């Protein structure tokens, strides 16, 4: 039969199997827009069953609907405020019921930024960013692990940032003390998860994007001078887009990354090499 089975269906090649996510269940936070939306949509296109979670219920529903019309998998919207314990517990309880406690993949992409100079930053602005970016990641990882441990398998992908380890350029992007601190915390959290969960077949890795065209950066990059300075700081000479994470997303979510854990994978067009 060669590459086809007895029913005339084409068999997957060895390479396709290596990067396959079809049949897996995933939750993506911040999936209504930006990086989260693209990553969630990609998984649906590849045949996974994906929960699009976001604090904006209507936007999450719209994103899930758009993905379901083209993808091979399933897309469902879940309302989730990652900064609120009860909201996280409620969302994961819904997943537990709908998916019979199956959760194979967690991608924590929800994030916000409230940049101000240090002398002007309020304690509330500092705390709000940490609540969403760091505590929100912790809460979602905690609930995901509770579902993954009995199955002895799972993939956790936390979205950090080059701001966690490099001071940003251009000047317009300075002042994000809370953002940088929160993303550095995400890196530390992920390292701990990787070490403690490795014996249970669960991997935990970070992806640190560079200058990406997302709703979080579009306003600042609309300024001509800022955009020019940003491009000058990127060896590849262009800004990143959400689809630039497609390859690393499939790699980290599939069996091809089975022996990789506790890593911070930087996707920045060479920005961090200067």
| Closest to 142 (Cα-Cα) out of 206, 79, 192 | 192
In angstroms, rounded to a whole number, what is the distance separating the alpha carbons of residues 151 and 69? 31
Is the backbone peptide bond immediately before 74 cis, with ω within 30 degrees of 0? no
Write out the catalytic residue numbers.
179
Q: Is 140 exposed, middle or buried (0-12, 13-18, 19+ CB in 10 A)?
A: buried
Q: Which of 147, 198, 158, 189 is nearest to 25 (CA)?
A: 147
Nearest-5° Cα angle at 29, 20 to 180: 110
């Amino acid at each position: 039969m060669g590459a086809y089975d007895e029913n005339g269906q084409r068999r997957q090649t060895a390479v396709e199997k290596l990067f396959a996510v079809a049949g897996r269940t995933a939750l993506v936070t911040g999936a209504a827009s930006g990086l989260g939306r693209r990553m969630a949509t990609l998984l649906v296109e590849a045949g996974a069953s994906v929960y699009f979670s976001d604090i904006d219920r209507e936007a999450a529903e719209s994103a899930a609907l758009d993905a379901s019309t083209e993808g091979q998998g399933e897309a469902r919207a879940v309302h989730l405020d990652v900064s609120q314990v009860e909201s996280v517990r409620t969302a994961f309880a819904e997943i537990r019921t709908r998916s019979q406690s199956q959760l194979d993949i967690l991608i924590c992409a929800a994030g916000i930024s409230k940049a101000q100079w240090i002398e002007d930053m309020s304690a509330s602005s500092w705390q709000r960013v940490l609540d969403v970016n760091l505590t929100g990641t912790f809460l979602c990882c905690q609930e995901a692990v509770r579902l993954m441990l009995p199955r002895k398998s799972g993939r956790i992908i936390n979205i950090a940032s080059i701001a966690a380890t490099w001071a940003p350029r251009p000047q317009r992007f300075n002042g994000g003390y809370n953002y940088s601190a929160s993303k550095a915390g995400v890196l530390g959290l992920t390292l701990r998860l990787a070490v403690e969960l490795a014996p249970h077949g669960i991997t935990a890795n970070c992806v640190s994007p560079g200058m990406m065209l997302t709703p979080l950066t579009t306003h600042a990059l609309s300024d001509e001078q800022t955009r020019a300075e940003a491009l000058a700081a990127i060896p590849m000479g262009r800004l990143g887009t959400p689809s630039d994470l497609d390859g690393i997303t499939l790699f980290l979510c599939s069996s091809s990354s089975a022996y990789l854990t506790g890593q911070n994978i930087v996707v920045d067009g060479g920005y961090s090499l200067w």
